[in-house]
Amino acid sequence: MKPGLTEIADRFGSDKGSRKHRYTELYHMLFSPLRERKLTFLEMGLLIGGPEHGNAATRETTDLPSIRMWLEYFPNARIIGLDVSDFSWFEHERFDFLRCDMDERQKIADAAAGFDEFDIILEDASHASHHQQNAFLELFPKLAPEGLYIIEDLRWQPKAYEKPGITKTAALFQGYLNTGSFEHSDPKVAVELNALRTDISGVFVFQAKYQKRRRDQVAVVHKK
């Protein structure tokens, strides 16, 4: 029997496993039917301790725990990693690295331009609201039909990046769940988000460690 995703995460030291967030319990349920497929998987944010924690984007990077986890879990998948820091030293025949500052939407679009579509997109970058929303606006259209778009760590935004007055991403998706539409402090962003509604088949928001009384932590968006 193949090891589950939580077991693999714990072995590689990923904070997605049982030692911290427990995201892998959800992901294993979502991804296990896709495990052997030749899919394209994009993860944004590859190692804790970047500029969102006060360190330079030029920081030295020495490990890729979640990428190692995905490469083992999805033996036939192409794994793409995107980060503001440099991880180009990591070499694997099924891995591609994209370096990108998510503060500007055009940079995200340019970084992903070489890919027609993704089957799974997982956003675990700076956690700044506008970064999360920039990525969703640019990359959700590149998600394959029946694909999954996941945003982690909704309940924490870094002081170094968070812009005052911007709608938090958790509130954005909770509003969608309640009303069927997106409301945003920037009317132009609201219009762009609502233009994506026809391609959304479902939105699910999970609380930290799946405890209902805790704050929202993960959003999962399923594409039609």
Catalytic residue numbers read: 127
**99: amino acid identity, one letter:** R
Three-state secondary-structure class, residue 101: coil
Q: Are 140 and 223 in contact (CB under 8 A)?
A: yes
Token pair for 161 = 């990046």
Q: What is the DSSP letter of 165?
A: T
Q: Identify whether the C-beta of residue 97 lies closer than 8 Å to the C-beta of residue 61.
A: no
Rounded to whole angstroms, the Cα distance separating 29 from 107 reads: 33
DSSP 171-208: HHHHHHHHHSS---SSHHHHHHHHTTGGGEEEEEEEEG
Given the DSSP bridges, would you call strands 143-151 and 216-223 parallel, antiparallel or unpaired?
antiparallel
